[in-house]
Amino acid sequence: MATRRAAVVAAGVGSSVPVYAADTDGGVLVDVDGNSLIDLGSGIAVTSVGASDPGVLRAVADQAAHFTHTCFMVTPYEGYVRVAEELADLTPGGHEKRSALFNSGAEAVENAVKVARLATGRPAVVAFDHAYHGRTNLTMALTAKAMPYKAHFGPFAPEIHRMPMSYPFRDDPGLTGDEAARRAITRIEKQIGADSVAAIILEPIQGEGGFIVPAPGFVPALAEWARANGVVFIADEVQTGFARTGTWFASEHEGVVPDIVAMAKGIAGGLPLSAITGRAELLDAVHPGGLGGTFGGNPVACAAAVAAIATMRRLDLPARARHIEDVVMPRLRALAERMPAVGDVRGRGAMLAIEFVVAGGREPDPDLTRTVAARAFEQGVIALTCGTYGNVVRLLPPLVIGDELLTEGIDVLESVLGELTGVRGVPR
Ligand SMILES: *Cc1c(COP(=O)(O)O)cnc(C)c1O
């Protein structure tokens, strides 16, 4: 397969692990050779309800039997409206909302920025250190990390301004969320000018950048400043959304009500769908025809989203994500206490991470991180890495994973770490 692949698939498309999937449900992935792997990645936070949720499968088959596509801009259909109703209900805030549907997270982010610029008549967009917003031209400009996302792919879209993030493990000890927000706000006011800023875009918990949970108060302070200055506050909840962090959206942890929420990954049980939901006056400012796309809000993907959301509600997956945190986090904390190579453990719900450092300090250890993921894979566990410095192992299990599998996955990770660092895990 590797030879066939190399002969026809572009080298620039990478894969985390060299196995070809044959079957996967809600925690176990079976490869084409019949090997079983414990999935702690969910295809990057997508298959929260599992990769073959019966409700999603039924909805997809039903819808496909009627029609697979008409294009909502040509002949609309109910599924699109139904998804927008769900999003109005689920996203933070009781205000009047409007939604538009697209295909990918990057496309949702692009459209959030389009809406903010048109609605405000301003050009500048503020993004943060360690941010990840996608791989299209505008979203590459918003993304912070050069390799592998941006290097040699420029020139990039203009009027993107990068500000310092709150990164408790790497900030000066004791820097509060409010102080970190103030640091960014001062820069925004001095270097751009508040009345040139269309939008602030922020992941409430950063994903690819290293599962960075900002200090408490950071996100609310920025949202408040945005409101006071007529700046659109866009929460990029592409990775954090749909129950992943223990609430429907991560903004809720600090009571933040974004003006626009960008969503994708977990929305539709694995089918490609993305969305923006925001204040009616912002989205309705755009002229008819200004937003859309041929495939955006595909009817099969919409049917899948409605079914996936029904499963999330029925199984109370936000509670399930909190349970996963309760099972996994104490074990990660115990590792951090014992192992000098574990600099920090953090995250919320089923979005948890271990940051590796050269023993005891803060110097990132990407080699150890890569080895941990590779060894875990050899022992049957899919665990992904991330981080600006490539030194974070991130855990994103499907939210429907059983406790036994989850525990088995963490056992493997712990024993791999023990072997590699020479420090034994906590006896259980
Ligand atoms: C994955 C991701 C994106 C990009 O989504 P795609 O569907 O890959 O385009 C944007 N923002 C965040 C926070 C993400 O995690």
- Are 69 and 271 contacting, i.e. CB atoms less than 8 angstroms apart? no
Q: Is 236 in the pocket of ligand 1 (CB under 6 A)?
A: yes
| pLDDT in the model for residue 359 | 87
Instruction: Determine the average pLDDT of the residues in 366-387.
Output: 97
Which residue has a Cα nearest atom 5 of ligand 1?
105
Examine the pLDDT at 345 and tell me if it is beyond 70.
yes
Distance (angstroms) between ligand 1 centre and the Cα of 334 equals: 31
CA-nearest residue for atom 10, ligand 1, is 133
Express each pLDDT in 270-280 by its tens digit.
999 999 999 99
Cα–Cα dist 245/266, whole Å: 11
Q: At what angle do helices 78-90 and 299-314 cross, to 10 degrees?
A: 40
CA of 105 to the centre of ligand 1 (A): 4
Measure 66 CA to ligand 1 centroid, in angstroms.
Answer: 30
Q: Which of 130, 133, 261 to mutate to test the pocket of ligand 1 (most atoms within 8 A of CB)?
A: 133
* Residue nearest atom 11 in ligand 1 by C-alpha distance: 133
Which one of 150, 211, 239, 242 would you pick to mutate in the ligand 1 pocket, going by the greatest count of ligand atoms within 8 A of its CB?
Answer: 239
Q: Which atom of ligand 1 is nearest to the CA of 239?
A: 15
Take residue 37 and report the two structure tokens written for it.
């792997």
**What amino acid is encoded at 273 in this protein?**
L
Evaluate if residue 55 carries a pLDDT over 70: yes
Q: CB of 109 closer than 6 A to ligand 1?
A: yes
pLDDT at 427 over 80: no
- The rounded Å distance from CA 424 to ligand 1 centre is 36
Indicate if the pLDDT at residue 424 is higher than 70.
no
> Ligand 1 pocket test: which of 47, 201, 265, 394 has the largest number of ligand atoms within 8 Å of its C-beta?
265
For residue range 379-392, list pLDDT tens digits in order.
999 999 999 999 99
C-alpha count within 13 angstroms, C-beta hemisphere, residue 224? 10
* pLDDT above 90: residue 346: yes
Token representation of residue 53: 């949720």
Number of the ligand 1 atom closest to the C-alpha atom of 237: 13
Residue 426: which pLDDT band, with cuts at 50, 70 and 90?
Answer: low
User: 167: which residues sit within 8 A by CB, 6+ positions away?
Assistant: 129, 130, 210, 212, 214
Q: ω into residue 318 within 30 of 0, thus cis?
A: no
Q: Is the pLDDT of residue 169 over 90?
A: yes
Q: Which residues of 173-203 are buried (b: 16+ CB within 10 A; e: fewer)?
A: eebbbebbbbbbbeebeeebebeebbbbbbb
pLDDT at residue 304, as a whole number: 98
Q: Which atom of ligand 1 is nearest to the CA of 208?
A: 15
- pLDDT tens readout for residues 65-80: 999 999 999 999 999 9
pLDDT, tens digit, 9 for 90 and up, residues 206-248 = 999 999 999 999 999 999 999 999 999 999 999 999 999 999 9
pLDDT at 114 exceeding the cut of 80 = yes
Q: Residue 1 in contact with residue 21, Cβ under 8 Å?
A: no
Taking the centre of ligand 1 as the mean of its atom positions, its distance from the CA of residue 203, in whole angstroms, is: 10
Kindly state if the Cβ of 104 falls inside 6 Å of ligand 1: yes
Atom of ligand 1 nearest to the CA of 203: 13
CA of 134 to the centre of ligand 1 (A): 5
pLDDT of residue 425 exceeding 60, the answer is no
Burial degree of 319 (CB within 10 A; 0-12, 13-18, 19+): middle
Mean pLDDT of the 394-422 span: 96
Task: Identify whether the C-beta of residue 283 lies closer than 8 Å to the C-beta of residue 362.
Answer: no
Distance 237 CA to ligand 1 centre (A): 9
357: which DSSP letter?
Answer: B
Best probe residue, ligand 1, of 42, 46, 109 (max atoms within 8 Å of C-beta): 109
Domains defined along the chain, listed by start: 2-52+316-421 (3.90.1150.10), 55-315 (3.40.640.10)
Mean pLDDT value of segment 124-144: 98
**Token pair in block for residue 363:** 């110097």
Determine if ligand 1 sits within 6 Å of the CB of residue 134.
yes
Burial label for 69, CB within 10 Å (0-12, 13-18, 19+), is: middle
Residue percentage of the chain with pLDDT more than 70: 99
